[in-house]
Amino acid sequence: MNINWYPGHMKKTKESIKKNLTLVDIIYELLDGRIPLSSKNPDIDSIIGNKPKITIFNKSDLSSEEGNRKWKNYFKKSGFPIVFMDLMNNRGLNELIKLSYEITEEKRKNLQKKGIKNKPIRVMVLGIPNVGKSTLINTISGRKGTKTGNRPGVTKGNQWIKIKDNMELLDTPGILWPKFEDENTSLNLAFTGAIKDEVLDVQTLALKLIESLKRLYPQLLKERYEVDIENVSSIDILNSIAYKRGCILRGEEIDYEKVCNMVLDDFRKGRIGRVTLEMPEDLEG
């Protein structure tokens, strides 16, 4: 499956990020805990250079406990500042604020020596579409002023948001990169909704997702849909799910659009269970 999706506004977003870097003290880079490798834009590190950065491992309530534990150990050994967050339940927020002050402490002390006091910490929030940037800002600010949605491309322009603890956040639209190097990255981004469904073959995508779940989390797949997954193909599993869930048209034909969208929606909303599709050992590949 070849997916090339790089709208013109993403090129403008990249240019805007470079332009605004001098205005911020620290970067928040959000990753999707289910696909931490695929959801990391390889362009971001080269764009921000030596600017201090905190990696936010978001949607940790949807990723598996084993995956969270392995990634936490990996980042700890690597020495990269990271915070695991569950924005739906406000988990990890205090840790993020505390770490932000620790990282910027030296700069703030230098400013105080120059007579500049109480200058806000300015943060730029970066990440791919649909990774939770606007939700993070809404959670920190305690307001609903930033539009969010369970689809990519909702945030259209840069926004400064004043929040508590003398901080200001710069929200930016989600940014992908022009070319995905391998199919797994493309698929993982599509599974989680980082790429608009309108540009995809949804049936192929649902079958690929079933293949991944059958390989990595067979028990979750079996329990969610109450279907046999042993020694059967992905299309047979999809057909069984369709009959189980009543995704049938007149003449007993399967409504593939309905069943495929249902499976994708179940995965994205965590109904199938907590799933991590990429582990630190995958870095060896």
Annotated binding site for GTP: 58-61, 130-135, 174
Are the CB atoms for 127 and 39 separated by under 8 Å?
A: yes
Segment (H or E) for 79: none
Are the CB atoms for 39 and 32 separated by under 8 Å?
A: yes
Residue that is written with structure tokens 């710069």 in the block: 170
Burial 53-83 (b: 16+ CB within 10 A, else e): bbbbbbbbbbbbeebbeebeebbeeeeebbb
Which residues are part of a known binding site?
58-61, 130-135, 174
- CA 138 centroid distance within chain: 16
Distances (CA, A) of 285 to 43, 107, 181, 277, 282: 20, 39, 13, 14, 5
Strand partners, 124: 27, 170
Q: How far apart are the first and last CA of the chain?
A: 20
Distance between CA atoms of 256 and 243, rounded to whole angstroms?
11
Are the CB atoms for 157 and 173 separated by under 8 Å?
A: yes
